[in-house]
Structure 1
Amino acid sequence: MVFLTGIRIAGTGRYVPPLTVDNNAFAAFLDTSDEWIRSRTGIVTRHISDGEPSWYMGLQAARQALEAAGISGQQLGLIIDTTVTPDYVTPATACVIQRELGAVNAMAFDVNSACTGFVCGVDMAARYLATDPELSYVLVVSNENLSRITDFSDRSSCILFGDGAGACVLEKKQGLYSAYMMADGTGVTSLYANANRRLSLFSKGEHAVPEETDPQGDFLRQEGRAVYRFATEAMPRAVQQVLDKAGMTAAEIDLLIPHQANLRIIETAAKKLQFPMERIMVDLDKYGNTSSASIPIALDEAVRSGRLNRGDRVCLVGFGAGLTMGAVLFEY
């Protein structure tokens, strides 16, 4: 549905670790090369955590977003954090960021929707803002430490991922807002990472349910071809859905900001949408795939570089593990 109450991005921010790893660094221990990686992914460099926790990276991005919005942490009514690499099983990363911001009036919780997480967070924020008259500002933070779960012996996947965080402050605004969210759980094993599976002192494992996933290790695993097929269908489908709901055409979008997974995926989806690459924000050459953080990092870069200006119609579209997809369309 298209809400009568839309959203306004009051401020954005991003943080990436100072440690930068280029493609040649992988060629030192893998059978690969800079040319091979660039031609297949579009990635040139990525930033890797040198010990920075996920919450710390999210906090830096959040502080930038608050500063850009001109508000204090005390003015926040809700903090939504999205991550697949939290520092704690509990508490929520959002609660740690709430503490550091002094956001004493904010409710806080985490969302795990993989690479679609930021889009889901924005949509949740829009719904809270639309239904709670006392809520003025929502902070959405996405922070990812993918290097923690990357198997650096797998040359097909380890070259893809980077670490970082992005954030935005949202407030109510009358106007355009359209959203579409979907999941396909039949693709769970296409992209996954195992969680802790230790048994309790009392358990013998006699009633264990057979696992669909590889029981060995907790690294991120993906079926590249299956993920590619899904992504090249999911991105145009999600964008078209929000356009149809809003009664608009692709030509009316000023800037499309997709999940930064792979340049080939973005180019293939753009052709299906008949959407020009000149109006698509792409920065994965610098950051690689940072999961849910990729869209807010690109959003902040678009705002600060002048590619996105007030009054522009922007569409954010994500797709990832789950398998999940989602898009939101609004006026910046």
Structure 2
Amino acid sequence: MSAPHILATGRCLPERVVTNEDLSRTVDTNDEWVFSRTGIHQRHFCTSETGLDLAVSAARQAMDRAGVTAAEVGVCLVGTFTPDHASPSTACLLQRELGLEEDTVCFDLNAACAGFLYGLKTAHALLCDAPRPCALVVGAEVISRVMDHTDRNTCVLFGDGAGAAIIRRDESRSWHTVFGTRGDPDSIRVQGPGPVPSSIHMDGKAVFRFAVEVVEQSIRQLLEREGLASVNDLDLVVCHQANARIIDFVAKRLGAREGLFFKNMDRYGNTSAASIPIALDELTEAGLLRPGMRIVTVGFGGGLTWAGALLRW
């Protein structure tokens, strides 16, 4: 048995901050309306920055904090549904920018908001036969580029950003994971390249029902596999930061103690694949994630896809 040891994390947010009141100038909304329904006050939008720019900054921060050089990275994966190009992948361009070796395994994954956890699982598996001991896993999104900024039901939800983690395969550790797919082209859909402009279509009620179902189910499965009786036996739960209502609903259903479920969507909105690594980096920087802590993290989103992991920090 082995598990990924997260050595360090990093994050990058675009400079431009867009508040709910800023959005009220272009759509029929206000801070109270948005916050009461989502828990979001503001988000970051790119102006001149690209997804690659965000990924490079977050990755370099993680590598510097881990004390890991380019010569030690054998795998480079990027979770994103908003790449700068259909090809080449963001991961390939990241390889060039970071000076990673040519035999580094590099590719993008699109598992929407569960992308970071899919990347973590994949990187851990690839390290079994990788040319070097460390992997770089990044979630990077520029969702503002594919949104309809006149649709108040979606434009208030999302933000841009990137988060990164440097991991090493550790044979002395163990972890548990759950993954799921429920093919559904209607609940969440991003219009791709073509004659129709890019936009995000989402059935909010269907997504809410799906999210609370699979997040609760995933956490219960992970607790059972770890032999834990209660969610309160964990030190921390870090869910994809889509909506405060989803997290609060699941926490209540599980009887979680106050503060067990981390939330930061008030400052960033839903950054999709970047949300979990951004949250982990914030927690680490604040000294709230310490070695030996037992945490659960769960992602869910378009596909529909979901993923969960229980691991020791």
- When normalised by structure 2's length, the TM-score is 0.96
Structure 1 counterpart of 2:115, one-letter code = G
The answer to whether the 8 Å contact 2:75/2:130 transfers is no
The answer to whether the 8 Å contact 2:74/2:130 transfers is no
Worse-superposed segment, 322-331 or 244-253: 244-253
Unaligned 5+ segments in structure 1 are 199-215
Q: Is the aligned partner of 1:230 residue 2:228? A: no
The structural deviation recorded for 1:176 is: 2.6
Unaligned 5+ segments in structure 2 are none
Q: Is the aligned partner of 1:167 residue 2:164? A: yes
The answer to whether the 8 Å contact 2:91/2:107 transfers is yes
Q: In 2, distance between residues paired with 1:178 and 1:133?
A: 22
Structure 2 counterpart of 1:122, one-letter code = L
- Percent identity over the alignment is 39
- Corresponding position of 1:284: 265
Structure 2 counterpart of 1:292, one-letter code = A
Q: In 1, distance between residues paired with 2:41 and 2:118?
A: 28
The structural deviation recorded for 1:188 is: 2.0
The structural deviation recorded for 1:133 is: 7.1
Tell me the secondary structure at the aligned position of residue 156 of structure 1: helix
**Cα gap change, 1:149/1:307 in structure 2, threshold over 3 Å: closer, same or farther?**
same
The structural deviation recorded for 1:218 is: 2.0
Q: In 1, distance between residues paired with 2:185 and 2:234?
A: 32
The within-5 A match list for 1:106-255 is 106-129=104-127, 131-132=128-129, 135-173=132-170, 174-185=172-183, 187-197=184-194, 216-249=196-229, 250-255=231-236
Q: In 2, distance between residues paired with 1:277 and 1:99?
A: 44
Tell me the secondary structure at the aligned position of residue 310 of structure 1: coil
Please point out which of 290, 304, 318 is paired with 2:285.
Answer: 304
Deviations 1:65-119 (A, max 9, x none): 0001101112100001010000111111101011000011421011000000001
- Corresponding position of 1:212: none
Please point out which of 243, 247, 264 is paired with 1:266.
Answer: 247
Tell me the secondary structure at the aligned position of residue 185 of structure 2: helix
The answer to whether the 8 Å contact 2:138/2:165 transfers is yes
The structural deviation recorded for 1:259 is: 0.3
Q: In 2, distance between residues paired with 1:303 and 1:172?
A: 20
Structure 1 counterpart of 2:26, one-letter code = F
Structure 2 counterpart of 1:22, one-letter code = T
Q: In 2, distance between residues paired with 1:309 and 1:26?
A: 38
Q: Is the aligned partner of 1:315 residue 2:296? A: yes
Structure 1 counterpart of 2:201, one-letter code = R
- When normalised by structure 1's length, the TM-score is 0.91
Please point out which of 18, 21, 39 is paired with 1:21.
Answer: 18
- Corresponding position of 1:205: none
The within-5 A match list for 1:53-132 is 53-104=50-101, 105-129=103-127, 131-132=128-129
The answer to whether the 8 Å contact 1:115/1:318 transfers is yes
The answer to whether the 8 Å contact 2:3/2:175 transfers is yes
- Corresponding position of 1:49: 46
After the TM superposition, which segments of 4 or more aligned residues of structure 1 sit over 4 Å from their partners? none
- Corresponding position of 1:325: 306
Superposed CA RMSD = 1.3
Structure 2 counterpart of 1:288, one-letter code = G
Q: In 2, distance between residues paired with 1:321 and 1:310?
A: 32
The structural deviation recorded for 1:299 is: 0.5
The answer to whether the 8 Å contact 2:72/2:132 transfers is no
